[in-house]
Amino acid sequence: MSETVLVIDFGGQYNQLIARRVREQHVYCEVVSYKTPIADIRAKNPKGIIFTGGPKSVYLDDSPRMSGDIFTLGVPILGICYGAQFLVYGLGGEIGAAGEDSAAEFGRTDCSFDTGSPLFNGLKESSVVWMSHNDYIKKLPDGFKTIAHSAKCPYAAIENSEKKFYGTQFHPEVNHTEQGFNMLGNFLFKVCGCKGDWTMSGYAETAVKELREKIGGGKALLALSGGVDSSVACKLLANAIGSQLTCIFVDHGLMRKNEGDEVEAAFKDSGVNFVRVNAGERFLSRLKGVRSPERKRKIIGKEFIRVFEEEAKKLGRVDFLVQGTIYPDVIESGAGDAAVIKSHHNVGGLPKHVDFKEIVEPLRLLFKDEVRALGVELGLSEKLVWRQPFPGPGLAIRIIGDVTPEKVALLQDADAIFREEIAAAKLDRDINQYFAVLTSMRSVGVMGDTRTYDYTLALRGVTTTDFMTADFSRIPYDVLERASTRIVNEVGHINRVVYDITSKPPSTIEWE
């Protein structure tokens, strides 16, 4: 097992970002809730511990706290913002309300560092840091000294070199903190003594070995959607157990143009049993006349599970069901749950009636871009690895109102042209999701000398990091113009093309 650093989540907004910053330095890192029992933390044998920020004041009754035993593990600790305050509070220091003492700081702040401390070793003596705190460190616990200060904050960073405990009032993980990445690096390498030997090729090797041990001679089943997660999971399993794996690809007929064939081509000869079920007609007949977006989602979700189960039954007893779950889905957050805006049915969700012994989730420790890096490592095509996210219900939620085979074909053609033009303009990696929507609205146009009364097609392109919020992409007019001209000329029954210039919120990324 690689050396591990634990990020203890106190409910701050940058927790996953901290984990990313650590992994980017080739140190394996996990996020765990502050509620995790100390014995479980000890069992993970961490080389270092990072306390995250959090929204609360340490003095509130309901603020997140851990047992003081965390300070007796003999493991270096870096506390960030709330995490630093918790460190101080937990070790007998004092925290003040910054508002009352005019010590609150938000945003970019000039800060000076003691470069004699291992945390700031080799860095510039002053630079900008990102502050965001209401409370502040007022009195240090015994054994601590200050190693950074700003105009308002005498204890911008603190150190107990004997115990290897560090705290920063600012956020080293965000890009606005100029030397933040190196500060985290110093904590990992100079304080914790990490080696930084966690790499994707090493991960792939270990994962294949572990999968072989776990599955032995058993049979495994995977629902392949063609998305990057299930594709990488499939490839990893193919390397580990070959023909003991059956992957079932339910083609619901609502994929993008040619996509079903592309998925088949990528996996047909990969050594696994590849089953493609062409269920387009079945899905379309169930969707006939259905206009409500949520109804469409439910119907597709249910039908998907049914088709999958029917196929799975033919295989007899299966020992393992493989899921493409990734790390952001499994992190148990210290904060509450977010509101559900759309019922995101993920094709590949867990079928209830397939008889299997255990679930295998070979990607559950990886972030999205690490899954892509693993895909590259395993030799998957760029096209699959960099595929933009595609919703489980497919084009059904990109056709407003009822879905017909004619509308699906029309949208597939228009969407393919838009994607070709985005790729030709080399924008395909910058725009995180881009697609066409058939609005089902008709309007008047003129082509040649003839009046037309045809559909309006909407184009959508967004940039986003987490898909929770998104900005519409500033696609150059000439690219939009080429796409629009080609779509109207090459696809029948579309006489108007519009570009969606709303962000999320207030809109969502998909139109339904």
In the complex, least distance from residue 460 CB atom to ligand XMP, rounded to whole angstroms? 10
Asked if 180 contacts 174 with a C-beta cutoff of 8 angstroms, the reply is yes
Task: Out of 29, 111, 159, 171, pick the active-site residue.
Answer: 171
Asked if 423 contacts 388 with a C-beta cutoff of 8 angstroms, the reply is no
Under rule CB under 6 A, residue 504 binds ligand XMP:
yes
Question: Is 173 an active-site residue?
Answer: yes
Question: Is 493 an active-site residue?
Answer: no
Question: Is 178 an active-site residue?
Answer: no
Asked if 109 contacts 129 with a C-beta cutoff of 8 angstroms, the reply is yes
- Single out the residue of 389, 476, 492, 505 in contact with ligand XMP (rule: CB under 6 A): 389
Amino acid at 207: A
Nearest to 225 by CA among 345, 392, 387: 392
End-to-end alpha carbon distance in the chain: 44
Task: Out of 81, 153, 194, 247, pick the active-site residue.
Answer: 81
In the complex, least distance from residue 486 CB atom to ligand XMP, rounded to whole angstroms? 24
Q: Which positions from 433 through 462 interact with ligand XMP, judged by CB under 6 A?
A: 433
Among the listed ranges 174-182, 232-240, 272-280, 501-509, the one in contact with ligand XMP (CB under 6 A) is 501-509
Under rule CB under 6 A, residue 146 binds ligand XMP:
no
DSSP string across 395-452: GGGSB-S---HHHHHHHHHHHHHHHHHHHHTT-TTTSSEEEEEEEEEEEEEEETTEEE
Q: Cβ closer to ligand XMP: 112 or 508?
A: 508
Under rule CB under 6 A, residue 235 binds ligand XMP:
no
Report the distance separating Cα 201 and Cα 336, nearest Å: 36
Among the listed ranges 164-172, 229-237, 315-323, 340-348, the one in contact with ligand XMP (CB under 6 A) is 340-348
Among the listed ranges 16-24, 186-194, 360-368, 386-394, the one in contact with ligand XMP (CB under 6 A) is 386-394
Tokens of 91: 């070790």
Give Dmax over CA atoms of the chain in angstroms: 87
Report the distance separating Cα 422 and Cα 288, nearest Å: 32
Reduced to 3 states, what is the DSSP secondary structure of residue 325? coil
Report the distance separating Cα 375 and Cα 267, nearest Å: 13
Among the listed ranges 269-277, 343-351, 476-484, 491-499, the one in contact with ligand XMP (CB under 6 A) is 343-351
Q: How many other C-beta atoms lie within 10 A of the C-beta of residue 295?
A: 11
String marking each residue 273-312 x if it binds ligand XMP according to CB under 6 A:
------------------------x---------------
In the complex, least distance from residue 50 CB atom to ligand XMP, rounded to whole angstroms? 29
| Total number of residues that touch ligand XMP (CB under 6 A) | 16
Q: Would you please indicate which residues are annotated as catalytic (active-site) residues? A: 81, 171, 173
Interface ranges with ligand XMP (CB under 6 A):
297, 341-342, 344-346, 389, 391-393, 433, 467, 504, 508-510
